[in-house]
Amino acid sequence: MNQTVVTRFAPSPTGYLHVGGARTALFDWLLARHFGGRFLLRIEDTDLARSTQQACDQLLEDLRWLGLQWDNADLLFQSKRTDIYNALIEKLIAESKGYKAYETAEELDALRKQAEKDKRVFIYRRPQLTDAQARQYESEGRPHVVRFAMPVRDYRFDDAVLGPGQGVPATQVQDFVIRKSDGMPTYHFAVVVDDEAMGITHVLRGQEHLLNTVLHIGLQEALGYRRPIYMHLPVIQNLDGSKMGKRDRDKKVRVTVQMWMKNQKRTVADLSAATGIGTDRLAAWIDNSKSQLDLSEQKLVMPAVGLRESDLPEVLVHDFRRNGYIPEVLLNFLALLGFSPGENIEKMTMDDMVQRFAIEGIGKSNAKFDRNKLLSFNTDFCATAPTSRLVPAFRDFLSVNPDSPLNRATDAQLGRIVEMGRGVHNLRQLDDKSSFMLLEDDAVQYAPDAVEKVLKKNDGQGLKALKDIRPLLETVTDWKHTAIEAVVTDYCTRAALGLGKVAQPIRVAISGNTISPPIFETLEFMGKTSVLSRIDRCIAIAR
Ligand code: GLU
């Protein structure tokens, strides 16, 4: 490439960063890094009603978490550039390339309906206002938008991913809004002005924007701008071909509710009683897979059927972070959504990705978001990454999961937990199986079914083993896993019990449940005092 590559990521700050947006940002970043160019960030906040400062902050945090650092210290906020857009819009109006349009939403709707009736596609072209009408509207201060008078002709452009000949014929060309009635520019206008102002050489974005490019080209020509290279990226879908989005989370709640009703013989009325949501509302939602619960309703329904937030399929970058995915693993996975490095390579470090990234490797067809594949990448990383990488990753996980008791752990303790927990799929799982260790001893909650199955069943065999082992553990002076193991196995031999018959009661006593990291290391980690005190408390509770 002769010229410096300049790419931009241009999110609208209306919520958290979606993985689709993250994939676009990654490709922008990779292209810029690969060619030693620049990756710029622009905040498209012209939709005043939907853009928020909080969403903007969150977006920056999500990008930083991914490690996609942008090169412009001064971010470009479109909302601060209205004077620039307006000056250009006035110029277009003066040149008769733009004009004020006064139709109300109702009038436009009527025109659309009429076209539908006549079985033709509705195409908006400049209405012929008389001078007198125009003056009257002007003096009345009538609400209006500004439209661009799109020259009517075929528009064709080359897309570096999809190939030549993209675009539309003259019959589909129409005049479009460039300034809304609230005085803000539309996306189409601001994007064209800013891509030029920022010297963008390559525009990467999702294929849903493909036809918008025609409008952008029309504007570029009218304003005398260059045309950047366009690269429209494959759409990301679920494995079944459906669109990936918040709906997937609602679907998971619905399916769980249906199972809960079936397996536990519950009715909509039971769910209504448990959640305080009306039966009509719940029934309408359960039966109509096109409807969705509001977030507030979802929060009420989930605990009633035993669902945790972390059980829902992740959609936003933040969801993946909260569920214990590692940023570089997520990026590796996202890189493969529409890009193929060739040679059957899949696992890549950030450096590998930068090196291998090539426009020719970007595909045209839809990319499938295979959650199992992502999970297996993450599992491999958790198994093989050095502890020195996993500890900060775990610390970060804990920072967005402030309720976890592991927030109290030192880095050295987290390091040991990471090592004991090798084999987990993600940090959430590591947290689930290890967090009991940092609880106060009297805060351990004993799961009734674990107590029943492991301690009370078979005439209290488990409880008896626990009572037997307690004084033996007390005799261990050098509290190391090897010494603890020696005492326990010795007892097992003498009592003719398999190791599990003793280890499992100990596990329940210290954790309240049946899952923990390897038991002897865990006991060593917790310390003798804490172990004995938990055993005592458990014996008292199970009695
Ligand atoms: N703000 C637009 C979006 O979030 C940017 C699209 C583009 O890259 O032009 O979809």
User: Does position 1 have pLDDT exceeding 70, yes or no?
Assistant: no
Whose Cα sits closest to atom 4 in ligand 1?
A: 11
Is 44 touching ligand 1 by the criterion CB < 6 Å? yes
Residue nearest to atom 10 of ligand 1 (CA): 11
pLDDT tens digits for range 225-249: 999 999 999 999 999 999 888 889 9
Average pLDDT over residues 422-450: 96
Reduce the DSSP state of residue 366 to 3 states and report it: coil
User: Which residues partner with 159 through β-bridges?
Assistant: 163, 230
Percent of the chain with pLDDT over 90: 93
Nearest one of 384, 534, 392, 388 to 470, comparing CA atoms: 534
Give mean pLDDT, residues 183-199. 97
In angstroms, what is the span from residue 185 Cα to ligand 1's centroid? Answer: 14
Is the C-beta atom of 324 inside 6 A of ligand 1?
A: no
pLDDT of residue 245: 83
Q: Which atom number of ligand 1 is nearest to the Cα of residue 203?
A: 8
CB 147 within 8 A of CB 96: no
Phi (first) and psi of residue 424, to 5 degrees: -75, 160
Query: pLDDT, tens digit, for every residue of 65-117?
Result: 999 999 999 999 999 999 999 999 999 999 999 999 999 999 999 999 999 99
Domains of the chain: 81-233 (3.40.50.620), 247-311 (1.10.260), 317-433 (1.10.1160.10), 441-542 (1.10.10.350)
For 112-126, what is each residue's pLDDT tens digit?
A: 999 999 999 899 999
Q: What is the mean pLDDT of the chain?
A: 95
Q: Would you say the CB of residue 51 lies under 6 angstroms from ligand 1? A: no
Of 346, 355, 323, nearest in space to 426 by CA: 323
- Say whether pLDDT at 51 is over 70: yes
**Whether the CB of 209 sits within 6 Å of ligand 1:** yes
Written in H, E and C, the secondary structure of 204-251 is EEEHHHCCHHHHHHHHHHHHCCCCCEEEEECCEEECCCCECCCHHHHH
CA separation for the pair 524, 531 (Å, rounded): 9
CB 431 less than 6 A from any atom of ligand 1? no
